[in-house]
Amino acid sequence: MQVEKEVKTVLKKEKVSSEKKEKNSEREKIIVLKGVKKVYRMGTERICAVDDVSFEIYKGEFCCLLGTSGSGKSTLLNLMAGIEKVSSGQIIMKGKNIHHMNENRLAKFRQKYLGFVFQSYNLLNSMTALENVEFPLVFKRVPNKKRRRMALEMLKKVGLEDRIKHKPKEMSGGQQQRVGIARAFVANPEIVFADEPTGNLDSKTSKEVMELIQGMARVNKQTIVMVTHDNKLAEYADRVIRVFDGKIISIEENDHSQKKEESDVNDEIAQVNKETSNEETSNDINNNDINNKDTNKEEFTEEVINLKKAEG
């Protein structure tokens, strides 16, 4: 029984991984980086913060740039957001080379398609939560009343309807970041960039904030590009791009549905083990039974090999 389930899990894993690869080749590429380099000059020193990087981000996915401090993640994010200029290479966003745009066009592009969540929230201290969330809509020339209604709705979604008149200093870090998230999502941008969004928060609040970002993006099929140094936070993403020394060292898929299935299978296995162990206790366990465990393992490995062969 246990062997059968483990075989099923292995086969399912392989199937999902090949299905994912197939699906990715069909998906719309919303951001494409081709041979991107960023070199900073400090006096006579040259710092290559991003070193010949190429990858794609798909529409609607939650993508994470993961790496230790100084690895080049924030520079990459700033390049994708058009905040910094590339030294060489191309960044194509929604089919347009953003580094061919002049400042004016780039600013309009950002307003139309992009949202930002920052580690230090970047709220305007003189404004209330409501005014902060309304802010991006002012640039989009949304009329007053509609603006207020949209901001209110958004603050409700992040659970802050009772804090709309509070200024940033009158709120906790977690509440300020919720305002930051409401502001990033209020204009329904296609892409949201988040730079260490939970960097200043405790672990419980971090989890809440991550679930909020993930949930918001899923509902509206938005693309999230998040930078973090934290492996745990990377688990929220669909794909993890590992950065080291300005280079991409790996790109991995996180399969949430598979994880759930695996955990369901593990639960079932645990249940079977529990029942078996209850039976064994009443029948007096002997050494032969313990040795069976190893035999099971060997049978399992053999069965996987045979099934793989049968699948061709």
x/- map, 55-84, ligand ADP, by CB under 6 A: ------------x-xxxxxxx---------
Q: Tell me: does residue 119 bind ligand ADP (CB under 6 A).
A: no
Q: Considering beta carbons, is residue 80 or 93 the nearer one to ligand ADP?
A: 80
Helix, strand, or coil (residue 188): coil
Q: How far is the CB of 311 from ligand ADP (least distance, A)?
A: 42
**DSSP letters of 55-78?**
EEEETT-EEEEE--TTSSHHHHHH
Find the shortest distance in angstroms from Cβ 48 to ligand ADP.
Answer: 8
Find the shortest distance in angstroms from Cβ 124 to ligand ADP.
Answer: 24
Does the protein bind ligand ADP through residue 249 (CB under 6 A)? no
Are the CB atoms for 228 and 234 separated by under 8 Å? yes
42/310 with CB nearer ligand ADP: 42
| Cβ partners under 8 Å of residue 163, min gap 6 | 129, 155, 171, 175, 179
In the complex, the smallest distance separating the C-beta of residue 30 from ligand ADP, rounded to whole angstroms, is 22
Tokens of 84: 């910094």
End-to-end CA distance of the chain: 24
DSSP per residue over 235-301, as a string?
TTSSEEEEEETTEEEEEEE--HHHHHHHHHHHHHHHHHHHHHHHHHHHT---HHHHHHHHHHHHHHH
Size of the site for ligand ADP (CB under 6 A): 12
User: Do 222 and 60 contact (CB within 8 A), yes or no?
Assistant: yes
Q: How near is the Cβ of 235 to ligand ADP at its closest, in Å?
A: 19
Q: Is 113 left (phi over 0), alpha (psi -120 to 50) or beta?
A: alpha
Q: Which residue, 49 or 181, has its beta carbon nearer to ligand ADP? A: 49
Closest contact distance (angstroms) between CB of 58 and ligand ADP is 23
Closest to ligand ADP by CB, 72 vs 168, is 72
Closest to 64 (Cα-Cα) out of 200, 259, 236: 236
Minimum CB distance to ligand ADP smaller for 47 or for 290: 47
Considering the rule CB under 6 A, would residue 47 count as an interface residue with ligand ADP? yes
Chain residues 253-312 in contact with ligand ADP, contact rule CB under 6 A = none
292 burial via Cβ count (<10 Å: 0-12, 13-18, 19+): exposed
Q: Is 197 in the site for ligand ADP (CB under 6 A)?
A: no
Pick left, alpha or beta for residue 58 (phi over 0 → left; psi -120 to 50 → alpha; otherwise beta): beta
Residues 21-40 vs ligand ADP: string with x where CB under 6 A? -------------------x
CB of 201 to ligand ADP, least distance (A): 18
Residue ranges that bind ligand ADP, judged by CB under 6 A: 40, 42, 47, 49, 67, 69-75
